[in-house]
Amino acid sequence: MKMDDRKLKILQAVIADYITTAQPIGSRTIAKKYELGISSATIRNEMSDLEEMGFLEQPHTSAGRIPSERAYRLYVDRLMKIKKLTEEEQTAIMAELGNRADEIENIIRKTVKILSHLTRYTSLAMSSQLDDCRLRHIHFVPIDSNSLVAVIVTDSGIVKNTIIKTADTVTPDYLESLTKVVNEIFQGATVEELNSSVASEDFRRYAYRYRLLDNLIPLIVDSLEEKKCDEVYADGMRNIFNFPEYSDVSRARNLLALIEDKEQLAGLINRIAGKGVKVSIGSELDNENIRDCSLVTATYRVGDKEIGKIGIIGPTRMEYARVVAIMGFMADQITCLIKKQLGE
C-alpha cells in the first residue's frame, strides 16, 4: 500500500490530537475537528489502511485509534516542524543559567535533599529575608590575564562567586590594591550605604583609577539584595506517592500544587515556624489544602538572628519521633556550618 498525501494528513491529525488529549481518536472526531473535506467513512477507510501499514493501533475493537511507535518515528523524522524558542524564553534561560548559586543556596539544596532522603517525606527549606544585610568582605582571584573571580561574602554568609572579564590586563599588584580599596570603602555597608557612597566624590576619584569598580557595584548590590525575597526549596515530592492517603491521584496533585505555590508555602512556613522544632498537625495548619497533613519546622540561625527555616511535610500519621529528631539535628548542623563558613 502506498502512503499518499491524504494518509499523511490524517496521520498527522491523529498524532497531533493524541499528543494533546491522550485519548484514542475516532474517524468522526477527525472529520469534525480537522477540515479535510472528506467524510468520516472515508477517514475510516484510510485509518484502516494506516493500521494495516503499522502506523495506527486500536486499544480495542470499538475504540478510536492511537499512533504506533512507528508513527511517532515518522513524525519525528519527517513530519514535525521544530518549534523554536521565543526570544523571551531564550533570554530567560540564559539569565537563569548565568545566575550563580551562592554558598548558602548550596547548603540549602543539600539540606532538602538530605532531609527528604532521610525521612522519606517531602522536605522544604527557605532563607528569610534580611533587610539589614551587610558586606563582610570581598576578594579577587585572578584566573588569567584578563579575567578574575570576585568572591563576595556578606554577614549572613552568602558567598557569591562571579567571573569578571576585563578589557585591560590585570596585574597581581593592581588586584591587591583594588582589594584593599574596595574593602576599605565598603566593608560593613548595606545596600543604602553602598548607593550613597557611590555618589560621593571620594568614590569617583577611586573609580577613575580602578576601572573595575564600576562593574563591581551592581554585583555587590545583587549579593546583598538577593536574599530579600523568600525563595522556597523543596525536595522529595515523589515521596508523597509512598503513602496510601495519596493513592488517590487528585489528592496527591492538590498537595503537589500547594508545594509548588511557593508564595503560599512561604507564608505558611513563616507563620508557623518558631524557635526550636515545632510540630503542626492537620487543622492546626489552618490551611484547607493540607488539612490532612502535618508540618514539622525548625529554624537555623547566625548568632541570634534567624536566617532560615526548614520543614517536613507529610500525612498526619507522620513518624514524629524520628522526624523531630532529624529536624533538630539538621537545624543545628546548618547553623554550625554557616557559622564555620563565616570563619568564626
Residue 111 interacting with a copy of itself (CB under 8 A): yes
Residue 251 interacting with a copy of itself (CB under 8 A): no
How far, in Å, CA of 111 to CA of 96, rounded? Answer: 22
The nearest distance, CB 141 to a copy of itself, in angstroms, is 4
Residue 20 interacting with DNA (CB under 7 A): no
Span 25-64, contacts to DNA by CB under 7 A: 25-29, 37-42, 44-45, 47-48, 51, 58, 60-64
Closer of 4 and 248 to a copy of itself (Cβ): 248
How far, in Å, CA of 35 to CA of 80, rounded? Answer: 19
Closer of 57 and 261 to DNA (Cβ): 57
Q: Which does 341 bind (CB under 5 to 8 A by kind): DNA, a copy of itself, none?
A: a copy of itself
3-state secondary structure of 315: strand
How far, in Å, CA of 143 to CA of 208, rounded? Answer: 24
Residue among 57, 256, 270, 339 that touches a copy of itself (CB under 8 A): 256
Residue pair 281/313 in contact (Cβ under 8 Å)? The answer is no
How far, in Å, CA of 163 to CA of 143, rounded? Answer: 9
3-state secondary structure of 123: strand
Residue 68 interacting with DNA (CB under 7 A): no
Closer of 89 and 214 to a copy of itself (Cβ): 89
The nearest distance, CB 227 to a copy of itself, in angstroms, is 17
C-alpha cell at 344: 568564626
How far, in Å, CA of 118 to CA of 267, rounded? Answer: 25
The nearest distance, CB 289 to DNA, in angstroms, is 23
Residue 75 one-letter amino acid: Y
Among 230, 199, 263, 220, smallest CA distance to 133 is for 220
Residue 67 interacting with a copy of itself (CB under 8 A): yes
Span 216-235, contacts to DNA by CB under 7 A: none
Closer of 40 and 68 to a copy of itself (Cβ): 68
Span 268-297, contacts to a copy of itself by CB under 8 A: 279, 281-284, 294
Non-local CB neighbours of 188 within 8 Å, separated by 6+ positions? 134, 135, 136
How far, in Å, CA of 344 to CA of 337, rounded? Answer: 10
Residue among 43, 56, 124, 318 that touches a copy of itself (CB under 8 A): 318
